[in-house]
Structure 1
Amino acid sequence: MNNSYNSFFRNSDLKVNRYFAQPQFKSQLIEASKHGKDVFYNEVRKLNNCYYARKLQGDISIKDIFLEYWSAFKEKYMHRLKRPGLIESIETMIGCHNFDNGYLFYECPNCNDFYMIGFSCHSRFCSSCGQKYKNQRTIKVSEKCLNVPHRQLVFTIPSQLRPYFQVHHSLLDVLFNSVKETLNACLEKNAPKLYKNEKRKLGFISFLHTFGRDLKFHPHIHVLIAERYYKNNGDLKCFNFFPYEYLRITFQNKLFHNIYIHCRDAIKNKKLSQELFKLCTHLKELYPRGYYFYGPQINKDKTTINDIKSLTNYIARYASHPAISERRISSINFENNTVTWFYDPHEDDDITDESLKKGRQEITESVFDFMAKLIKHIPDKGFQQIRYYGFYSNKFLNKISTNKLFSNAQLNKMLDNTYWVNGLKLSFGYNPTLCKCGSQMMINLELSYFP
């Protein structure tokens, strides 16, 4: 059997994934084989990746967990589910692809076969829709990027501050602003007068991540920054020196100052502002060199399309889906109401000696504890986890129209891949609207359901 048909895509190793071989599918596979190898394997993959096949193979979805336990969880913890849009995000995700919420009906023009697809929920808490959202965000970022070297910067906060950010989500805006002010201060530091006279601007995109691999609340900012600054005459000049010591200290000072001002003026909680002032003063003594900061160049010579695309995919992924990949959920015990999941510690990434690594960590905990860990990472309604600054902001949309990293044709192809049919082709290797008779199914709007 041709290996390109055999195991390149998920659930396509036909020696292992045998759902298609069940007797009730024999006639449709015989029909598909009459119309060529592509049609046959398309039908095989379509069967192997259906909901029931994935359940038999042990796949566990976040949606299934919430379908089973959400009502009980909501009743018990309703007093803790007060954030804007939180319940809406969860219940929208639970109803994703539910035919009661609408569907599209595709039918074959040559036989009686048909295919129905329920409407997507578009919730960022949905594993399925989160993938599409991530791809769309990646395209949005990609269309901004110039064909110049870039680098990734990461700004984190000390663990002692995390509980305050978890309770007061408006502090996440403070984190974004502190990173922006820190980078602008770095540009101004080199030439203060020219910075003002020439109205110099950096171009960068900030991504908020609120979790690590262990699912703890750990807000930090990833920044994709161009190694250029923009002058008011339209010129772009090289800027590739980022003094790490200065950035660490400046970020610490900006963050502390902005936290205090925000608590005093926006939250208007005198007790909270005094408490945080004392804590921040203590943290300055505890971390005299500032906070953890990471900022390697992506490519020493020149940023390539693959560099930007892979990095943007990586960064946008964590701002666009639930806090855990469903492949990391090992099992669920409905009798004991427990979930088992795993993660590989970040600390092991840079260790070459296997004996020194912590190794894969497996967690078994109550379903409610697991659900609570996921829920705390759902963003508030309307909260933007990806933000554009400087000459990458919308204000500069038409001011820098040349020297783009991606052509319009490349961007259109990327956009075309987000269409649900093409997404399934790329991820699982099958076209859901290709009939077993080899014909392309057509949408029938009269038989579709639009609530």
Structure 2
Amino acid sequence: MNKQESLQGVFSKAQRMVFNSYSKSVFGQLSTCRTLSNGYHLSQCSDCGHQQMQFHGCGNRHCLFCGHFGREQWVGQRRAELLPTTYYHVVFTLPHELNGLVMGNRTLLYNLLLESSSQTLIQFGKDPKYLGAEIGITSVLHTWGQNLSFHPHVHCIVSGGGFDGNQWQNSKRVSGKFLFPVGAMKIVFKGILMKGLRKLRPKLRLDKLNFEDLLSQIGQKAWNVYAKRPFGGAMGVLEYLGRYTHRIAISSSRITEVGQTTVSFNYKDYADGSKVKQMTLSHEEFLRRFEQHILPRYFVKIRHYGYLRNRGKQERLKQILASLQLSERKPIPKLTVEQFMQEKYGTGLGKCPCCGEGRMVSIAVTYSHRCEPIQASFQVRNKASPV
């Protein structure tokens, strides 16, 4: 039994645990990914008649094995939005004292975290002392730590310049190490988010939490805003996007062993010099931690702000390119899976693995093991056996 099959067995146990119906449905999809339950494509070579069956993936955004093609497509489309400027990486983290409140109000507080962090950056960008223009921001919500603990934070990719409506403005900070002063960002972020918490108070589920005591606790401590040094050019931005935007709580490569009752995985212990260590959890504890990172249904975790906000974005980008005296970028076409494999890996996905000459053509497809296969019309050039 391979790693995916072993993990599917673990995920199937979630149906017997105390999770909400939506989380159980997610685990249900993960447990049947690339199995007969999801249906299959049956292909046959146009020359030699060789046949092969490919089971469908689940397509769930929390899956450890799906999404690679979609991620690459998304990153490719972002390439057309990159500008000849420095890009910075800023991380906004919620105090751990808020974890209990967030768990009971995920949609409201994830939205508040994303909006508060973007407002902080936009406020500093519009300050004439730093830029005096509207910056571009791509924000990505993460909810996990390396050991699958609950750790809500937002990664922001921020342009080093901005558009004032007429022309492009570059940063006025001489060193260029950080776009805005981190200490000041901590104060502003804290103020915006705490104000938002008070505004949301009537909508929040508090259970046994004392709201005023909680605000007092977080108000007395320094909040964590981390600003990394600039990326190494546009390709550094794209590399980051590919690694972080479509990540889930844990990648399959970090999982080292799936036993009868336990799951073991590697993690970096940042409190101990980022040493790589191994953690072993029972199946039940692994599922409990994983479930904390299942996003609310339809929740959008990747968002764009500033001049990259969706409404009117293409027109703004045209104005910015014109102000920089750059030609307009052509939209990057979406590739098929076969074109993507050929371009990225030099592998012809449609070529027959048996004879190496013919083309694999779909002859039957089903989307559930309960459905009859849909037959496709197909003729083999030689006298291969029919399906």
The TM-score range, normalised by the shorter chain, is: 0.7 to 0.9
Aligned partner letter, 1:228 = G
2:257 aligns with: 331
1:76-117 CA distances to partner (integer Å, 9 max, x unpaired)?
A: 32xx325xx423322222232333433222211221201222
Change (3 A) 1:86 1:268: closer
Aligned partner letter, 1:293 = Y
2:44, 2:211 → 1: CA distance?
A: 62
Q: CA deviation at 1:365?
A: 2.1
1:279 aligns with: 214
Say what the alpha-carbon RMSD is for the aligned residues.
Answer: 3.1
1:242 aligns with: 180
2:42 aligns with: 105
Q: CA deviation at 1:421?
A: 7.5
2:317 aligns with: 400
1:406, 1:93 → 2: CA distance?
A: 42
1:295 aligns with: 228
Structure with the higher fraction of residues in strand conformation: 2
Structure 2: stretches of 5+ with no match in the other structure: 174-178, 372-387
Q: CA deviation at 1:429?
A: 6.6
How many correspondences in the alignment? 355
Picking from 6, 12, 16, the partner of 1:75 is 16
Aligned partner letter, 1:129 = C
Alignment partner of 1:360: what SS?
strand
1:400, 1:285 → 2: CA distance?
A: 42
Change (3 A) 1:245 1:276: same
| Contact 2:138-2:304 within 8 A present in 1 as well | yes
Change (3 A) 1:436 1:340: same
1:97, 1:424 → 2: CA distance?
A: 23
1:119, 1:425 → 2: CA distance?
A: 23
- Deviating above 6 A after TM superposition, structure 1's stretches of 4 or more consecutive aligned residues are 403-406, 427-430
1:270, 1:69 → 2: CA distance?
A: 31
2:302, 2:185 → 1: CA distance?
A: 21
- The answer to whether residue 318 in structure 2 is matched with residue 375 in structure 1 is no
1:132 aligns with: 69
2:78 aligns with: 141
Alignment partner of 1:397: what SS?
helix
Taking the TM superposition and a 5 Å limit, the aligned residue runs for 1:15-414 are 55=1, 59-61=2-4, 64-66=6-8, 68-77=9-18, 80-82=19-21, 85-169=22-106, 170-190=108-128, 200-233=133-166, 235-239=167-171, 241-264=179-202, 266-267=203-204, 275-287=210-222, 290-299=223-232, 303-304=233-234, 306-318=235-247, 321=248, 323-334=249-260, 337-347=261-271, 357=273, 359-395=275-311, 396-401=313-318, 402=321, 408=330, 411-412=332-333
Change (3 A) 1:97 1:270: closer
Alignment partner of 2:160: what SS?
strand
| Contact 1:146-1:405 within 8 A present in 2 as well | no
Q: CA deviation at 1:270?
A: 9.9
Aligned partner letter, 1:308 = V
Q: CA deviation at 1:71?
A: 4.6
| Contact 1:340-1:362 within 8 A present in 2 as well | yes
Alignment partner of 1:364: what SS?
strand
Q: CA deviation at 1:346?
A: 2.9
Q: CA deviation at 1:291?
A: 2.4
Change (3 A) 1:378 1:448: same
Structure 1: stretches of 5+ with no match in the other structure: 1-54, 349-356
1:38 aligns with: none
| Contact 1:203-1:226 within 8 A present in 2 as well | yes
Alignment partner of 1:435: what SS?
coil
1:186, 1:434 → 2: CA distance?
A: 56
Aligned partner letter, 1:173 = N
2:355, 2:86 → 1: CA distance?
A: 50
Q: CA deviation at 1:212?
A: 1.7
| Contact 1:104-1:443 within 8 A present in 2 as well | no
| Contact 2:12-2:28 within 8 A present in 1 as well | no
Aligned partner letter, 1:340 = S
1:52 aligns with: none
